[in-house]
Copies of this chain bind each other. A is one copy, B any other.
Amino acid sequence: MKQKDSLDCQSRRLEHSFRLTRVGVTGVKKPVTVHRDGRDRHLTATIDVFVDLPSTQRGSHMSRNVEVVTEMIEESVRKKVSSLEELAAKICKKLLDRHEYASFAEVNMSADYFLERKPVGGKASLEPFKLMAKATAMRGNGLMKLVGVEVQGMTACPCAMETVKHKLQLKHPELRHVPADTPMISHNQRNRTTLIIEVPEQVEIEADDLVGIVESSLSSPTYGILKRDDEANIVMKAHENPKFVEDVVREILGRLLVKYKGLDNSVHVTVRSESEESIHKHNAFAERVTTLGELRS
């Protein structure tokens, strides 16, 4: 097979060249099944995988990336995986096995997924969320796994609400007598919030819990089916809980500290909230990139 080897362009040796930080494939789509709490979740995942490349080697063997993804997904049908991040971690380790020249590997996965939600007094329906998973590995150095969710919900602006109340009370003095906590009109809008947390070895973090943490930190969750009464309840609830994007991020940070008391200080956390402002054509944005240790100090 000498001939074959001479066709291995990728392994050709380079001199005076440059190391590459990440080389791989992006936008691979695959059906994935995650087995959790006794039932299968069928996901359509979009996957990016990378390894680094030493300065002496011309190319990474790209087809090995998709082979590894395919093999590990097939294995996950036989030996069920309980989470997308577990699958990402398995792919990550296997990438280092297969790319013997690499010292680093990274896997990113995302998929739509659904949870049943029911507004108080209303009808249950399946709401869509986005599930994200990431794994990175340094050769010989263990593994880092992260799980994340993107949640759509509703924010009502606290600032506009107070200014409007002040203006309306000047105009309609009878409004001064309603209780101070009566919700007042404001602008409200669709919000997208992302929460990503590192998953230490031996720990399981439920993506569903992350969705719950985000939903309870918004002015209100949103729902597919709302009859007239449910709609009014959601609108009132949102205006009783007006939130800046800043408030949303901080509430999530606070809830994380309570929920994950047992997790190590070194655990990475990213929270990002974006409100598609109804009064502007641009969005409002807030973000914190941190560790549990920093948050606790």
Contacts and interface: CB of A to CB of B under 8 A. Distances in A.
Contact of A20 (B223, B254, B286): B286
B227 A286 contact: no
Interface string A1-26: 00110011110000001111111111
Contacts of A44: 43-44, 111-112
Given A31-B126, A184-B185, A185-B239, A66 B282 contact: yes
A225 B53 CA distance: 21
Nearest 9 A/B pairs, CB to CB: A42-B42, A163-B232, A29-B128, A9-B159, A28-B282, A23-B286, A185-B185, A27-B282, A22-B287
Interface residues of A, number: 111
A246 B281 contact: no
Contact of A21 (B20, B24, B183, B290): B290
A138 interface: no
A279 B225 contact: no
Contacts of A21: 287-290
A190 B4 CA distance: 28
A224 B66 contact: yes
A282 B178 contact: no
A225 B67 CA distance: 6
A236 B164 contact: yes
A194 interface: no
Number of copies: 4
A231 B159 contact: yes
A200 interface: no
A235 B278 CA distance: 9
Interface in A56-115: 58-60, 62-63, 66-67, 70, 111-112, 114
B172 A174 contact: no
14 contacts: A22-B285, A23-B246, A29-B112, A29-B281, A30-B128, A31-B42, A63-B226, A154-B279, A174-B177, A188-B188, A188-B189, A190-B190, A190-B281, A222-B280
A127 B31 CA distance: 10
A263 interface: no
Contacts of A198: none
B127 A281 contact: yes
B7 A154 contact: no
A47 to B, nearest CB: 9
